[in-house]
């Protein structure tokens, strides 16, 4: 099926998680290109209607370095962003009762298709702090696939990060296009926000990860706090492909 244009009914952030978690899911079409199956859906209940992206576990391509069940990592990325208060990842839930089985359901971001990380970095100085926050987020989450096209500018003016399924591995697998801040000090407010994770990870996040993944997250946070600066890629290999 081809995806047809769809404009979601505006709903506030208050009820959106309830809509995604409990609403009836109607398939609209397949989102292409996508390495794993991604479906545009409409989720509806008495509280409202929203467009969302549904990624069933059954549609995942087998990976060597990640076990099946990327929906947990998509949800964990949202939980981390939400806990930090950074509003970088669209609201995301796990739905065991979805049409093709368990998977993540994430609020669809109505975005400018011509904008992505590379254009946003050059676009306006006001956006740079959001991109710095995203760089720190990806370091904490250990994002192995931050392509430029995974960074969206919503029509509401917010920067949002999608496709977060390849996160939270134990080994340091960071692959990202965000290297423009390499060697620069990380803003103190961002370090202050992540600092509590060094000693305790919230249960709602830890419950989505394996115990060794939780410990590895804390190690990454402690390393960030110790260095206080954005890392540099001296190998030139910590970039995803394709870049966009």
214 occurs within a structural domain: yes
Query: What does residue 71 show for φ and ψ, rounded to 5 degrees?
Result: -60, -30
66 occurs within a structural domain: yes
97 occurs within a structural domain: yes
Structural domain count of the chain: 1
pLDDT at position 34, please? 84
188 occurs within a structural domain: yes
Alpha helices in 95-236 (DSSP H): 117-123, 128-141, 188-194, 203-206, 211-227
Tens-digit pLDDT string for the chain (244 aa): 233 233 333 344 568 999 999 999 999 999 988 889 999 999 999 989 999 999 999 999 999 999 999 999 999 999 999 999 999 999 999 999 999 999 999 999 999 999 999 999 998 889 999 999 999 999 999 999 999 999 999 999 999 999 999 999 999 999 999 999 999 999 999 999 999 999 999 999 999 999 999 999 999 999 999 999 999 999 999 999 999 9
> Residue 231 in 3-state DSSP?
coil
Tokens representing 73? Answer: 């990592």
6 occurs within a structural domain: no
Cα 133 from chain centroid?
13
234 occurs within a structural domain: no
b or e along 53-63 (b: 16 or more beta carbons within 10 Å of the residue's beta carbon)?
bbbbbebbeee
195 occurs within a structural domain: yes
5 occurs within a structural domain: no
Q: Which domain holds residue 210?
A: 13-227
């Amino acid at each position: 099926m081809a995806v047809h244009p769809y404009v979601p009914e505006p709903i506030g952030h208050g009820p959106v998680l309830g809509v995604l978690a409990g609403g009836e899911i109607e398939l609209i079409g397949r989102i292409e290109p996508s390495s794993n199956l991604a479906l545009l859906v409409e989720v509806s209940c008495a509280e409202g209607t929203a467009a969302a992206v549904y990624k069933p576990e059954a549609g995942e391509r087998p990976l060597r370095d990640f076990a099946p069940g990327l929906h947990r990592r998509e949800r964990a990325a949202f939980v981390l962003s939400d806990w930090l208060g950074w509003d970088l990842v669209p609201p995301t839930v796990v739905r065991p009762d979805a049409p093709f089985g368990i998977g993540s359901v994430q609020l669809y971001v109505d975005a400018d298709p011509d904008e992505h990380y590379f254009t946003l970095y050059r676009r306006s100085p006001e956006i740079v702090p959001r991109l710095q926050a995203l760089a720190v987020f990806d370091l904490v989450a250990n994002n192995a696939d931050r392509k430029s096209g995974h960074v969206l500018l919503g029509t509401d003016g917010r920067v949002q990060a999608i496709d977060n399924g390849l996160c939270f591995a134990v080994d340091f697998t960071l692959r990202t296009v965000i290297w423009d801040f390499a060697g620069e000090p990380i803003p103190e407010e961002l370090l202050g926000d992540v600092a509590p994770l060094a000693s305790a990870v919230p249960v709602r996040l830890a419950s989505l990860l394996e115990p060794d993944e939780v410990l590895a997250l804390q190690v990454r946070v402690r390393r960030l706090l110790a260095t206080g600066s954005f890392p540099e890629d001296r190998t030139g290999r910590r970039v995803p492909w394709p870049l966009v």
